[in-house]
Amino acid sequence: MLAQAFTKEMLVWSQLKAHPGHPEIAEFLGFYADFKRGEAWLLSPWEPNGNISEFIRSHNLEIPEKLSLVYDTIEALGFLHQLDPPVCHGDIKSANVLVGANFKAVLCDFGLARLHEDSGFGRLETSTGFKGSLRWCSPEIIDGAPRVPSRGVYSWAWLVWEVRPLH
């Protein structure tokens, strides 16, 4: 089960390379898997400024700088959701948004990403049971509903709350 789910999730992220020109999506470098031990990781570059929460805590940013990071994240989400079929990230939160050397936000950790088709046929659902970070999940996902793009927007709103650009 882990191997099959991991392979599908890896394919979702790795196929994003076919859409160049989206620097707000972390590059997929590869993977490590030891299925006998139940371990599997998707690998991306680490950004020098850490995640968005750490970056904001350690820098005295003005409101426009914080808003710029927020805009980068919605660009990433918009890109994923406009694909055919749309990609639902599945775990949008500050720990999964890195800040690059160019001070741009980069969405990473596609371990829960899913392809979504409105028809329901061919929709990739690779995990069973609840997955993700409870605080950031929409109530519908907590109740067992499938991941769809609009539920990612709910998670994004919590990310914005974490960043709190007006504080």
pLDDT, one tens digit per residue, over 99-125 is 999 999 999 876 555 544 433 333 333
In three-state secondary structure terms, 120 is coil
Q: Per-residue pLDDT for 128 more than 60?
A: no
Q: Is 91 known to be catalytic?
A: yes
Q: Spot the catalytic one: 34, 72, 91, 118.
A: 91
The answer to whether residues 115 and 86 touch, using CB atoms and an 8 Å cutoff, is yes
- Convert the pLDDT of each residue in 62-100 to its tens digit: 889 999 999 999 999 999 888 888 887 777 888 889 999
Torsions phi, psi of 143, nearest 5? Answer: -80, 0
- The pLDDT assigned to 19 comes to 77
Q: What span, in angstroms and rounded, lies between the C-alpha atoms of 15 and 37?
A: 27
The model's pTM: 0.76
The residue-averaged pLDDT of 119-133 equals 39
Which tokens sit at 21? 């020109």
CATH superfamily of 2-163: Transferase(Phosphotransferase) domain 1 (1.10.510.10)
CB 156 within 8 A of CB 73: yes
Both tokens of residue 126? 């690779």
